[in-house]
Every structure is written in C-alpha cells, then in structure tokens.
A and B are shown apart, each in its own frame.
Chain A
Amino acid sequence: MSRAPALSARGVTHPGLTRGKNEDCFLADAALGLYLVLDGMGGHSGGEVAAARARDVIHLEMRARLGQEAPAAALEAALGAASAAVHGEAQRDRGLHGMGTTAVACCVSGERAVVAHVGDSRAYLLRRGRMRLLTRDHTVVAELVARGALAASEAAVHPYKSVLSRNLGGRRTAKVDVSELELEPGDRLLLCSDGLSGYASHEAMEQVLAGAEDADRAADELVELALRGGGGDNVTAVVIELGLDPARDSTLELRRGAAVAWWSRRERFEAEARERGVHESPICAVLSPDEAVAIVAGNLCEAIYHDLDQAAGLHVWTYAENLANGWLDQGGAYEVLRDLLDRLRAAAIAVVAEVGEGGPAEAELAVALETDLLRALIVAEMAVAGALGERMRKVEQLLVRRDTRATTATPFDEGKTVELSGAYKVEPPSPMVAACLERGWKAARGEAATGEAERGAAAAVGSAEAAGAGAIDRPSAPQWTEVLDLAHRAALDPSSDIDLAPAVRLLFGTRVLGEGALRPLLESLDRARTRHLDAVRDLAEAPSIRAAALHRLAGIHEGLMSSLALMVVESTVELTERYQRATTVTARLRAELARHETHISKLEREVADLRAGEAELATVSDGAPVVGPALAGSAAAPDLDEDPDADLTAETVMDAPAVGPREPEPARPKGGKR
C-alpha cells in the first residue's frame, strides 16, 4: 500500500472592491477532509445568514455522517439538510424571507475526492499544469447552453447569466450534483465563488493556480487576480493541494533536468535559429541579424525555459501572443508568422536531438524534454489561435456593419441579389454529400417512412392540376416545411454563390410588417433549421460526409435568415420614409393654419376698432342715429368672407359717405396693417 500523499489547504475571502459586506464564507477542515465555499444571497443580512447557517449545518452533518456513510452520500445528505435548515429559518423570520446560498463542497479521503455543488460556485481540478472545471453552473443561462438553446458565446454576455436555477434554502429540498474523482499526487483543487470565476479568465486562473508555489500562495494570488479584474463581487477561494509522492518527485526532477538541459543549450538554439534563417523573416526586417536572433530566438528560449521549470505556459503564451499581434496588427500575412514559428520549432527540435546523444539517461532526458517542449509549442499555437480569433470577430463585426449600411442606404430593389456570407461560400456538394442532404431532408420532413404514399398522392394532384381540374385540395403544408424545401433546393445547388433572395422574397412578400406577421415566419425559419440540422446529424453517414452536409446547410439557413433580416430592414426604411413625408405635410398644413388664425384675429381687432370709431361719430352727430356703411353692409364695405386679405384700413372706412359734419378723426389704437 502506498502512503497517502500529504494534503494542504488554504482559504481566503474578500468583500471585493464594490460591495459593503461579504456574503461569501468558506470552511477548511483538514481533519475531516471537508472544504466548502458558499455565496449567500438575500436582502438585508439574509445572504450572510444563509451562507453561514448552511456552512455550519453541512459541517455538523458531515461530522455525524462520515464513517457511517460513503462520502458521496454523506455530502449529498448534508447539503440537503443545509437547504432545509436555511429554508426553515427564512420561513420563520420575515426579515430573512427569500434568502439562500450557493455551495460547493469537496470531501477528500485518501486519493479520492467527492465534489458536490448547488448554484454557481465552482470546483476546478489542476493536473499537470492544466485546469479543468469539475462543476456545471446551476444558472438559467447555463441550463440553456447545456440544452443547446443558447450559444456559449451568447451566454457570457447574457443579462441573466447570474440568475440561479438552484440554490440552498430557496426550497426545502435541493437537487445536489455530486461527482467523484481519483486524485493524483501534485493535483490542486480549487473551490471558488463567482466573484473569482466571473472576474478572471480561465487561462489566467490556470496560470496562477499552476504557477503558485503552494496552496497558500495560490489562494492569495487568485483573490488578488479577481480584485485586479474589477473585484465587483465578494470573492472566495479555497485551494487544496495533494503533496507529491516519491515517483512524482522523480518526475519533477526529470522536468527540472530537462529545463536545465534546455537552458544550458541556449547558444546552440540561437545558432540553429540563425542557420534556419530566422533573421531573414520579414518580421525581423527592422532588426540586424544579430538583434533578430537575440530578440526573437533568445526571448523564446528564455520563455520556454521558465515554462519548463514551472510546468506552466504563461511565458510562451505571452511571447507568442505578442509576436502574433505585433505582426498581424501591422497587416502582416499569417504565412510569414507561420514560417517563422516553424523555423523556431525546427531549431528547438534540433537542440533536443543533441540532448539525446549519449547514453540511456540522456535519451530519457531528451524524450522528456521534447514532450515538454511540444507542450510549450502547443501553448504558442493556442496564443496564435487567440490572435486569429480576435481578428475573425473584428472582420465579422465589419461585415455586419457594412451590410447594415448598405441596407439602409439602398432602396429595395426587386432584382437585388442577397449574397451569402463569404464564410459560407462552399464548394458544390459532392455526390455523397448530396445524397446525405437528400436523406436528411426526407428525414426532416418525415417522408422517409411515407415517401411512396406521398409520391403517389403528389402524382395524382399533379395530373389533376395538369388536366385543369383544380378540384383536389392539397392540404397546405406548414410554413416550416416550405422553408425546409427552399433550403434543401439551395443546398443541392451546384453553384458556390447561391442567391437566396428570391426564395426569401416569396416567403416574406405577402406579409405585413409587424410582430404578428413576422413572428410565425421567424419561428418557421428557426424550426426548419433545427429539424434540418438534427436530421442530418442523426444520419448514419460517415462523420466527414455529415460534417460537410451540416456545414453547407448551416450556411444556407444562415443565408435565409440574413436575407429575411435584410428585407425586413428594407421594408422598415420604406415605411420610415413614408412617415417622414407625412410628417412634413402635416407640419406645413399646421403652419398654414396658424397663419390664417393670426389673420383672423387681426381682422377681428380691426372690426372692433371700426365699431369704436362709429360709436364716437354717433356721439358728435345731432342725435340722429348714424349708420355707417361699413356696419350697414353697403357695397363700399369690404366683404370679409370673400376677401380675407382686403385692406381694412381706417381710411377705407372713413372715405365712405356719412351723415353729418366731418370731425377730425379720433385717435384709436393701431390695428397693425398688413
């Protein structure tokens, strides 16, 4: 029996940089081999209470159960009991109503570990420098991703990414996920709250967990990492480390031996790099040959040494990422970058071959060195893939922006060809792929079983229509099958540039813009796509054939959807223009109305003035009533109805004949002439 490796652990919690209180808590009981991280939630002090209460209950339960029950069963029961306890307390105290907590628990016994969790606190395993997630978040978004209803990339930015689908205390019982794993000497386990996993990338956490000297440093540095990432939440990390066994020690010794062997040959590596023309690469164009070798090869040599020594990948990653971004950012070609990396790799492999020359011990060292070196070079490839991925996303955004601009600037054109995305321009289907597409289409329509019968019916309908009968009612096919047929026809099209616009126009043409009309169409497109891809995926064809068929179909369906989107946007443009025209006419009419109203009020004031003037005239006469022509409606008086613009000045009125002597005109308020 081998002795169980020594276990060490360290837990750290921090309120973060934006929260006033810490609702996280943890437990590290080395004697029991029990480790916990909990992240409470709930108003007022509910979160803190829930997390602390659950921690205490789990601890007590495990003390009682371990030894009586298997660790997995004990842990599951303990988390269940904690949920009941938290729920009960929340029911009793109205101030704590709705409180709950996540929990991730690990019970280590010898070289076995049991991990149980509820919620989005996580467990990771670091083994030989690679970190792997052991738990699946119990969030609504993660459940959608697991069911294939949401892409992982969408999940990362989803507004509800933190909404839990399970917790302890929300209900009396909790569904607990439990898994077991065999530990190996040197393994590190990490339990953490989402204040860490949500504020640090997987790669960064891996680097820190792998690179830290021991569990103490690892826990401290991980919390520091989350704070550097913004520290927007309470953050807690518990790191558990299994000590190295003697065999592992010898592996470690071999690894360090390989690192030293590599470093002692750095000049040889630079010479090999020079021999392979590293300095001739266009990437080194601004450097002298000596500088090129010293910088490009020398830095890689150093990065590899550090990563070999620490069994990490951070240094090579950084080197390759800087190299790739530096070159690609200035518009450099990928092929040049590839060529340089290949030359450097060839130089490194040549050095390894030299290490192996000698006895069996040297050969063993060379094998270990090459294995570790290849791992470092794989890390470099991953960094280059990351740089390419970044650019792919940028080009994709550019394409979307351009399409949007083109759509809003150009009016709808019946003859327009909607182009498929360049990424989906594929070769025409080979006969095998075409056969696969045919079978997939039939399976999706459910025609595989009833194909013969339907063909017979279709033939009957066809002949009846041809004869002009027109009396046979063909049951109208559901809309998604229309889409399916369109997609299938397009997929079998032998050209690589497929115009999907006419097909989509047919679907869209008769619809009125609005959610009520568009929604069923969008649902049909979605349903057809899902059925189509599922049907092809389930076929028994060789995976490569299915992959080619799926690739083509994915492109076609994407094209259908984007063509539809284009038409919707174009229709919206037309409506917007019509609305803008109507708004302009309305504004003009309103201005006209306002002008007339102003005029009418002026006229009313003029009339009032005339009345006042005539009253004055009447008072200076000999008492006989004076009836002015303006007020008597004589021919000399202007007709307001007929001529609203008539000049109703005082002179016009006063020139009219009047009875009695003329007096000087009395002062009266100005009416404002036009």
Chain B
Amino acid sequence: MERHARTFESIRPDVLDRLLDVRGSIDHTLSGIPSHVIRQQFDAVLDRMQRYLRDGDAVKYRPLAERWVAFRLGEGSTPENLIHAVVALGDVILDVTRGRMPAGPDGAEFARAVARMNFAAARLIVESLAEALAAMTRSAGRRG
C-alpha cells in the first residue's frame, strides 16, 4: 500500500540510526562489521522493505532472503540468530513508529502492515533455511 510505504519512507532515517545503535544486540556478528558497511547493508534491506510495503509481493524478495541467509551463515550466524535478526528489524521499525506516530487507526494499520511484512520476511528466511538444509542433506547423501 502506497501510504504505508510513504509512512515508512518518512521514518526510515530514524529506523536506520536506531538499527545501527542496537546492531550488537540484534546479532553479535554484526558488531564486528564496520559502521559504513553495515549502514549500507541495513539501508538495502530497508529499501526492500519499503518496496514490499508498496507491492506486497513476497516472491520478488526471495532471492534477497536467500542471499541474506547464505551471507549471514557464511559469517558465522546460527539459523536462530538469522531469524531473530529479521524479527528484531521489524520490532525496531515498530518502536520508531510508536515514537513518531500518534496512537490511532493510522498507527494501528501501519503496525499491521509492518507485522505482515515481518511475517513474510520470517517465512522467507525459514524457506531459505529449509533449502540450505536440503542441500546439505543431499551433499551428505552423495558423500555417504
């Protein structure tokens, strides 16, 4: 929905700043990445989130989720950390929203849109993890 995407755009800089502040508690492995690098990564993710709020098409973002999973697993994150990080992103957005938007129907609907987006992201991550597990299992079968 266009209006949710616009709302998100207006709070995006605050969300980005907050994410950088709390990145260590989102995922320990993010602490070791230089600020400018992690800023770029978060910004790219927020950009996709904004686009998702506009088009609602989760399938389009599947490759991003797959790369995120491969990238983070390569960096030493556990599967549990991965999904926690994604959920934490949504929580940070909602935290910032509550500070910026007055309580009321608009805020509640935006919160629902973010919850939908967050669920879609979590589901994509689980799908990617399942594929990674299937690939590992196939590899084990070949080598066994």
Contacts and interface: CB of A to CB of B under 8 A. Distances in A.
Interface string B33-45: 1000100110010
Contacts of A422: 135-136, 138-140, 142-143
Interface in B42-101: 44, 63-64, 67-68, 70-71, 73-84, 87-88, 90-91, 94-95, 98
B120 to A, nearest CB: 10
B5 to A, nearest CB: 18
Nearest to B71: A547
Given A146-B24, A402-B140, A551 B82 contact: no
B135 to A, nearest CB: 6
B40 A543 contact: yes
B64 A334 contact: no
Q: Is chain B's interface secondary structure helix, strand, loop, or mixed overall?
A: helix
Determine chain A's interface SS by DSSP, over half rule.
helix
Contacts of B32: 145-149
A554 B84 CA distance: 23
B129 A385 contact: yes
Interface size class of A (residues with CB under 8 A): 35 or more
Given A378-B119, A385-B125, A396-B136, A551 B74 contact: yes
Interface in A113-156: 127-128, 130, 132-134, 136, 145-149, 151-155
Contact of A547 (B67, B79, B143): B67
Nearest to B43: A543
A470 to B, nearest CB: 43
Given A132-B25, A153-B76, A338-B130, A374 B123 contact: no
Interface string A364-403: 1001101100110110011011101101100110110011
Given A127-B95, A382-B84, A388-B79, A247 B103 contact: yes
B1 interface: no
Contacts of A425: 135, 139
Given A378-B87, A422-B135, A544-B44, A370 B80 contact: no
B31 to A, nearest CB: 5
B95 to A, nearest CB: 7
A184 B95 CA distance: 10
A381 B79 contact: no
B67 A384 contact: no
Contacts of B111: 371
B135 A544 contact: no
Contacts of A389: 78-80, 129
A551 B83 contact: no
A423 B129 CA distance: 11
A300 interface: no
A370 B27 CA distance: 28
Nearest to B124: A381
B83 to A, nearest CB: 4
Task: Among A130, A371, A388, A548, find the residue whose CB has the most chain B CB atoms closer than 10 A.
Answer: A388
Contact of A152 (B81, B94, B130): B81
B114 to A, nearest CB: 8
Contact of B83 (A364, A375, A385, A391): A385
A357 interface: no
A399 B136 contact: yes
Contact of A367 (B22, B71, B83, B108): B108
Contacts of B103: 247, 251
A550 interface: yes
B115 interface: yes
Q: Which of A151, A184, A396 has the most CB of B within 10 A?
A: A151
Interface string A504-538: 00000000000000000000000000000000011
Interface of A: 127-128, 130, 132-134, 136, 145-149, 151-155, 184, 247, 251, 334, 338, 364, 367-368, 370-371, 374-375, 377-378, 381-382, 384-386, 388-389, 391-392, 395-396, 398-399, 402-403, 406, 419, 421-423, 425, 537-538, 542-544, 547-548, 550-551, 554-555
25 contacts: A128-B94, A130-B91, A145-B29, A147-B32, A152-B28, A364-B105, A371-B111, A374-B116, A381-B83, A381-B126, A382-B87, A385-B79, A385-B80, A385-B82, A385-B126, A386-B80, A388-B129, A395-B140, A399-B140, A399-B143, A422-B139, A422-B140, A543-B44, A547-B67, A547-B68
Given A147-B32, A338-B127, A364-B108, 11 more contacts: A146-B24, A370-B112, A371-B111, A381-B125, A381-B126, A382-B84, A392-B129, A395-B140, A423-B136, A543-B44, A544-B67
Query: When A and B form their complex, which 8 residue pairs have the shortest distance between CB atoms, in order from nearest?
Result: A422-B139, A148-B32, A389-B79, A151-B76, A554-B74, A374-B115, A152-B28, A381-B122
